[in-house]
Amino acid sequence: MKLLTDINTIFLDRDGVINKDSGYITNWSDFIFIEGVLDALIHLTKLDYKLVIVTNQSAIARGFFTTEDFINLNKKMINEFNTFGIKLTDVFFCPHHKDGVIEEYSMECNFRKPNPGMLFSAAEKHNIELSRSIIVGDKESDLLAGRNANLHSCYLIRSSNSESPSESIYAKKSFNSLNDFVFNFLCK
């Protein structure tokens, strides 16, 4: 059963919500799914939500890895999702950061959360009604992006990342994990 029956799209941050946020993740061997996240994503797929990942990847601008490295890591994540029958609508990422060392990515950008550019782009590409969408993230920037895009609501996952608050005025509710959000709230 869906608690939010008027919602059809769930935007998800990646690091800290789907995988453990251990800094800049450059290798698949360092990409560790948070406990229960695959079960949560399987359930959301069965409920026919559009699932869209929106992730800031300033490590590209900072020179820690390349766009190609990110795309390759992303493909491995999607392949893993596919083995579990998880249907992901798309992944949007922002490689920019104003303090970057890679000139082409060293800039402010409307895609970088808390700006809503990734959400607007996803809505246009996949015919998503933002007023019928939510965002689940572990940082204030995720929640503010949702607010700036006028999403239905925003939900906080408390992650181990030092930038992750335990509560937020921008979150409708806070949870310990995506699994907690899905099974103890959304599908209660």
Active site residue 15: yes
Among 13, 21, 138, 142, which one carries the catalytic annotation? Answer: 13
Q: Which two tokens stand for residue 136?
A: 């689940």
Q: Encoding tokens for residue 129?
A: 């009604």
Residue 30 in domain: yes
Catalytic residue, chosen from 6, 15, 39, 69, is 15
Residue 122's CATH number: 3.40.50.1000
Catalytic residue list contains 48: no
Mean pLDDT of 128-143: 97
15-32 pLDDT tens trace: 999 999 988 888 899 999
In a domain? residue 82: yes
pLDDT in tens, 36-93: 999 999 999 999 999 999 999 999 999 999 999 999 999 999 999 999 999 999 999 9
Query: Taking the model in full, what pTM does it have?
Result: 0.95
> What domain range is 132 assigned to?
9-186
Whether 55 is in a domain gets the answer yes
Residue 1 lies in a domain: no
* pLDDT surpasses 90 at 140: yes
Residue 139: inside a domain, yes or no? Answer: yes
Domain total in the chain: 1
Average pLDDT, rounded, for the chain: 94
Query: What pLDDT is recorded for position 3?
Result: 63
Q: At 171, list the tokens.
A: 């979150």
The verdict on residue 4 lying in a domain is no
